[in-house]
A and B are shown apart, each in its own frame.
Chain A
Amino acid sequence: MTATQAKPQAATGTGETRTLTLIQAINEAMAEELARDDRVVIFGEDVGARGGVFLATAGLQAQFGPNRVFDTPLSEASIVGAAVGMAVRGLRPIAEIQFADYMGPGFDQIISQAAKIRYRSGGQFTAPLVIRTPSGGGVKGGHHHSQSPESYFAHTPGLKVVMPSTPYDAKGLLKAAVRGGDPVIYFEPKRLYRAAKGQVPVQDYTVEIGKGAVRREGTDLTVIGYGGVMPDAEKAAQALAAEGVQAEVIDLRSLVPWDRDLVLTSVAKTGRAVLVSEAPRTANFMGEVAYVIQEELFDSLLAPVMQVAGFDTPYPYVQDKVYLPGPNRIAAACVRALNY
């Protein structure tokens, strides 16, 4: 039951690092995996010459050629389905869905094919693939460019679901996803693409899927989140620290599987948990986290588990920032837990 350290570490060697943005880290991960393994191919809408709408794949086609990095027809069902067929035939596809909001047309392929083929064939056929997609709000995108659909996929056995919030994790998780044996839905919090900067090792490393990270140590309560809300969770913890409250901040990094040991160890220590995500509240994945905390730690809890989430409305355009759980809303939930 070891908590993963907050500070980025080089896996091996000299430990040399340099500063990257989250999207640079994603781009580097793909470049390195393309160079490492000929079976890796990258495709989607506009990922080739343009390099993706957010430029996540910028320069990759120029470097690796149009057989390795290519544009597809505008069809999420085709993109995901083709990734399944390629993976079954022995490639390691990384498919990009331009926005998580557009995963609907590819949903059947994800849940009927990618998630099930290993199980239903008794392990005779497998589909190790990665579907990368920008998700979440905060960029004035309206409801078709801002949603957080991760709970749909976390609900489907056979899929792994991850969402990094730092450049270090973004690179390490993506490499782990490409090298693993399962279909991985890799959500990228788009508002952190350039806002999140951090130290990333020069040498090769991976971040194990299923392990969370302690971003800040504390004793009074535990704030748990993932993806785009993490900087706000840390800001809330800083504000509380000014009031003399030490909040422990945990970044789940992976939703399926999720790091129950890390969460339970922390909440057992602090006695309070505040769960933060920007997805709509009802049937939010954090409901599962709350359920496990109450089941395992009922007698240790000093307050009910609090949830800070998005509202159960379609994502709004004008009220973009109001919709998102910012530091104030997170801190207010923490105060409620502390004063219970």
Chain B
Amino acid sequence: MIQPFTSDPLRWVAEDGRPIRELPDRFTPAVLRELHHEMVRAREFDKKLVTLLRQGRTTFYAQSSGMEATQVGLARSIRVGHDWVWPYYRDHALGLAMGVPLLDLISQCLGTNSDTCRGRQMPHHFAAQRQNFVSISSSIASQVPPAAGNAMAQKYLGVDELTVCTFGDGATSEGDWHAGMNMAGASGAPCLFVCENNQWAISTNLKAQTASETIHIKAKAYGMPGYYVDGNDIVAVMEVLSHVAEGVRAGNGPALVECLTYRVGSHSNADADAEKNYRTREEVNAWLARDPITRVERLLDHLGEPVSAEERADLISAVHREVDEAVLRAEATGQPDWRIMFEDVYADTPVHLREQAAFLRAEQEGVRA
């Protein structure tokens, strides 16, 4: 029933909320409501982070508004804390849905002492050991070969795990992407590649990115199946990813899933006037009409279980309170001091770094080195 290499994206729910395939039993109104809540949580997190940016409390933020169904759906399709994830930098909805504490995400964006990454990376590059959510690199596609290696290790160890590797459409132009896809294909390692195709790599659109009609057909070149799914339909995302993950886990080798979605906002605060410079309001509006949160609301309407305006308002204010509290808690921990610069460079700090640390201590504290 779920076939690779389809010409159109697989979908279960139309934009007006009508199921266009039989809705699987597991998508009860209660479950759909949970998914809706998780997506709203991610959306509101996004909005709050933009506010923090405007307040000067953080310096960079890359929104994922519009991509919630892909990321929340992915989190629901794997075994969190058991499988391993090599994410890219726009995956905070994925992290939230995987149970990474909101405080940790906020702390990383603010670079406070509560940041598990110890204030070493620019905002939006978090890591979470408990969830096997591996550290994000800014270097595009550089997570792809390591994800293949992670999966090769799982195969070697004979463990019942799989590796998930996410990336945007722009990453598929990088040499590392092709190298990693090829390595995974050649080794038959249990790696699930998920392209969150939001159609814009900063200001470069998909047509300028590749002459390939779609991303998922590239899987053919690496000897793995490629699936094409409507990334704004969370039912479709979960149905396809669960099915594909099961095959990968069963030893069928790696697979690529392309989730066709849209980044509604700008790439980051660095290009806040995206609509003026490189894309049209008409295009954005067309995608807003396919919004993943609205689609679930329409589906619930269709099922006779609508989300009331009051329920939605309560939900949104609860998220805002949660973020506000986390910001205060994070900020209360203060900023890491200079010492953290010299730690975690090596397993043990070598003498030249100890001397450089002593020099900085003298400078910072007026202590003789």
List chain A positions with a Cβ less than 8 A from chain B: 41, 67, 72-73, 75, 77-78, 80-91, 93, 105, 108-109, 112-113, 116-126, 128, 157-158, 160, 180-182, 210, 256-257, 260
| Residue pair B345, A113 in contact (C-beta under 8 Å) | no
Give me the 8 closest cross-chain CB pairs, A-B, nearest first.
A81-B145, A85-B149, A181-B347, A82-B149, A85-B146, A85-B150, A121-B135, A89-B153
A-B pairs with beta carbons under 8 Å apart, 13 shown: A73-B186, A75-B179, A77-B175, A82-B148, A85-B149, A89-B153, A91-B157, A108-B142, A113-B142, A117-B137, A158-B346, A210-B350, A260-B351
Given contacts A81-B144, A88-B146, 15 further A-B contacts (CB under 8 A): A67-B156, A85-B147, A85-B150, A85-B153, A86-B152, A91-B157, A105-B179, A108-B142, A118-B345, A120-B135, A123-B343, A124-B116, A126-B347, A157-B345, A158-B346
Q: How many residues of B contact A (CB 8 A)?
A: 49
B115 within 8 A of A: yes
B323 within 8 A of A: no
| Residue pair A108, B344 in contact (C-beta under 8 Å) | no
A80 to B149, CA, bound (A): 9
A116 to B350, CA, bound (A): 16
B242 within 8 A of A: no
| Residue pair A78, B344 in contact (C-beta under 8 Å) | no
Comparing B122-130, B206-214, B359-367, the segment that makes contact with chain A is B122-130
List chain B positions with a Cβ less than 8 A from chain A: 84, 86, 115-118, 120-121, 125, 127-129, 134-135, 137, 139, 142-154, 156-157, 163, 175-176, 179-180, 182-183, 186-187, 343-348, 350-352
Q: How many A-B residue pairs lie within 8 Å, measured between CB atoms?
A: 160
Contacts A85-B147, A88-B134, A109-B176; A120 near B117 (Cβ below 8 A)? yes
Report B-chain residues with C-beta under 8 Å of the C-beta of A82: 145-146, 148-149, 152, 183, 187
A251 to B183, CA, bound (A): 38
Report B-chain residues with C-beta under 8 Å of the C-beta of A128: 347
A314 to B134, CA, bound (A): 39
A76 CB to closest chain B CB, in angstroms? 8
| Residue pair B139, A108 in contact (C-beta under 8 Å) | yes
A82 to B179, CA, bound (A): 10
Q: Name which residue of chain B comes closest to A158, CB basis.
A: B345
Q: Name which residue of chain B comes closest to A126, CB basis.
A: B347
Report B-chain residues with C-beta under 8 Å of the C-beta of A210: 350-351
